[in-house]
Amino acid sequence: MIELIPAIDLIGGRAVRLSKGDYSTAREYGDPLEMARLFADNGARRLHLVDLDGAKASRPSNLRTLEAIAGLGTLDIEWGGGLKSREALQSVVDAGAAYMIIGSLAAMKPDVFESWLSEFGAGRMIFGADILDGVLRVNGWTESAPAGLYELLERFSAAGLTRVICTDISRDGMLGGPSSLMYRDLAAGFPSLEFTVSGGISSMEDIRTLDRMGLPSAIVGKAFYEGHITIDDLRKWWKAN
């Protein structure tokens, strides 16, 4: 069964959600530690934690929250946001992250990303690929990457990368359903890589469709916070998985 990974986005130490990455659309959902505890108590094993402040500042800005959630001792945390230097990467490792998501830097400086794959372990590094109309976007989704997605996937898989979180920007936070065919094509083209679905999931039916397609994992964010997917839904899925 497909693994469901709950998401918490952070601004100012609080849990929020955006639409299409637009900070002006931020809606607050409370204490991220309590939210993480709720997920863990109901069977989650992994948490997708994104530092939106860090993404803007180009350095991690919510490390205390990471430390607090890691202190629960029950969730493997994948951290994204602000990882633009080795020092930043080490800081989130020290704070308790199990996995690190690298997006813009990997696309803009692939040689640096490859060195991190070697130093920190390819199994701990995740390539965060954000796509708009088939084009890889970087720097807060404001620019096109100099290299294409397929070119980078070929390069990074050869260097040992095993996992990619691929976000369809046009669907992020919109509750309109995921880009199922895009993920199907990526999985078929790169069978050695695990593609995590990100963006657009609106219901458990979306999850069941992705599961039938054989996709390995999906991030659940706004659909949960807006009540389209309940904690009972998640608990049942996690217990069955």
At residue 2, the 3 state secondary structure works out as coil
Question: What's domain 3-240's architecture?
Answer: Alpha-Beta Barrel (3.20)
- What are the structure tokens assigned to 65, written together? 């929250």
In this predicted structure, which of 22-26, 29-33, 172-176 has the lowest mean pLDDT? 172-176
Concatenated DSSP letters of 123-183: GGEEEEEEEETTEEEETTTTEE-SS-HHHHHHHHHHTT--EEEEEEGGGTTT-S---HHHH
> Which residue type sits at 233?
D
- Tell me how far apart the alpha carbons of residues 61 and 77 are, in angstroms, rounded to a whole number: 16
* pLDDT band (50, 70, 90) for residue 124: very high
Active-site residues: which are they?
9, 130
pLDDT tens per residue, range 47-103: 999 999 998 899 999 999 999 999 999 999 999 999 999 999 999 999 999 999 999
pLDDT tens per residue, range 69-84: 999 999 999 999 999 9
Given this model, what pLDDT does residue 209 score? 94
Query: How high does pLDDT run on average in the chain?
Result: 93
Strand segments, DSSP code E, in the chain are 3-11, 14-19, 22-30, 46-51, 76-80, 99-102, 125-132, 135-138, 143-144, 163-168, 194-198, 217-220
Residue 140 pLDDT > 80: no
71 touches 93 (CB < 8 A)? no
Q: At what angle do helices 149-158 and 110-120 cross, to 10 degrees?
A: 30
- What are the structure tokens assigned to 235, written together? 């608990």
Percentage of residues in the chain with pLDDT exceeding 70? Answer: 98
- Tell me how far apart the alpha carbons of residues 131 and 25 are, in angstroms, rounded to a whole number: 20
Which sequence spans correspond to the domains of the chain? 3-240
CA 76-194-119 angle, 5° bins: 65
Percentage of residues in the chain with pLDDT exceeding 90? Answer: 79
